[in-house]
């Protein structure tokens, strides 16, 4: 059976892509952010995953407001990105792990999740930038399975439902008949709001409490409904739902491998965590 080696959770701010493209990693503004990543690279070298399951939210590149599934799973042979208007260059195509994709889809439907199956899919910065941060050479040594969660248009899935989704994905990965090693990636957040009267809103105290809860009380955030989470983390801070789903794949107990928190990056609180199943 497949082995779930751990989870990485990280922000996906579009400006990160521009910083990578312009080689600004050592710039004083960006250095505290990029300095958080070498421990992740060392960990990836140690655990050597073959596949990445990526929880992310689409911002209008593949899904728009006229067709916005709550949960969608990619089942394509490859995934490409496109120009989103952020000045982010295109990256090499990602190879899909179709056998795991269909196994996940069948398992999730069997667990009574109504997922949209996507045999063609483009992926936006929420997918490509975290992958580029994990693998700066962009040679993509892993195959991928995208799992898209709606955080754009109400009604949103609840934190409790997203946690349950992650649990189901974790169970399915461990039941997959393969000797592959699988890493889970959850992208988005942390607290930020890009529009309205609270534009620029950041809640450091909530961010740090949320990050700590993922280690010791992973269901802590499920006590809040979507509107409460928006109030605490900002309109776009609701992207923490992907962190919850990623954390839930690992089971009840985890150990902390690495953490970093930095603000602001383009009016966003940037978080980074690596968690592994408890020994």
Q: Provide the annotated active-site residues.
A: 125, 192
Helix-strand-coil percent breakdown of the chain, rounded to 5? 35, 20, 40
Q: Which of 69, 74, 156 is nearest to 120 (CA)?
A: 74
Residue that the structure tokens 């982010």 belong to:
88
- Longest Cα pair distance anywhere in the chain, in angstroms? 51
HSE of 201 in the Cβ direction (CA atoms, 13 Å)? 19
DSSP letter at 276 equals E
The alpha-helical segments, DSSP class H, found in the chain are 14-21, 31-34, 38-47, 98-110, 125-134, 159-175, 204-216, 226-233, 240-248
- Judge whether 185 and 244 are in contact, CB under 8 Å: no
Distance CA 58, CA 84 (A): 11
Which residues, other chains included, contact 20 with Cβ-Cβ below 8 Å and sequence gap of 6+? 129, 132, 136
User: What six digits make up the tokens of 219?
Assistant: 């269901």
């Amino acid at each position: 059976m497949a082995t779930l080696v751990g989870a990485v959770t990280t922000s996906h701010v579009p400006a990160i892509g521009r910083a990578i493209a312009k080689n600004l990693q050592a710039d004083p503004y960006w250095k505290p952010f990029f300095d958080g990543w070498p421990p992740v690279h060392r960990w990836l070298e140690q655990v050597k995953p073959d596949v990445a399951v990526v929880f992310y939210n689409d911002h209008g590149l593949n899904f728009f407001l006229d067709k916005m599934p709550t949960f969608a799973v990619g089942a394509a042979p490859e995934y490409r990105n496109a120009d989103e208007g952020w000045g982010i260059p295109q990256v090499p195509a990602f190879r899909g792990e179709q056998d795991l994709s269909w196994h996940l889809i069948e398992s999730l439907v069997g667990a009574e999740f109504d997922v949209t199956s996507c045999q063609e899919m483009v992926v936006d910065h929420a997918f490509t930038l975290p992958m580029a941060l994990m693998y700066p050479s962009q040679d993509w040594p892993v195959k991928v399975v995208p799992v898209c969660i709606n955080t754009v248009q109400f009604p949103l899935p609840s934190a409790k439902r997203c946690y349950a989704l992650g649990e189901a994905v974790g169970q399915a990965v461990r039941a997959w008949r393969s000797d592959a090693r699988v890493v889970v990636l959850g992208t988005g957040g942390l607290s930020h709001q890009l529009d309205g009267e609270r534009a620029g809103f950041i809640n450091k105290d909530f961010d740090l409490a949320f990050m700590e809860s993922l280690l010791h009380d992973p269901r802590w955030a499920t006590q809040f409904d979507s509107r409460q989470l928006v109030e605490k983390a900002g309109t776009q801070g609701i992207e923490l739902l992907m962190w919850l789903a990623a954390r839930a794949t690992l089971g009840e107990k985890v150990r902390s491998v690495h953490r970093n928190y930095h603000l602001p990056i383009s009016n966003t609180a940037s978080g980074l965590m690596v968690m592994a199943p408890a020994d």
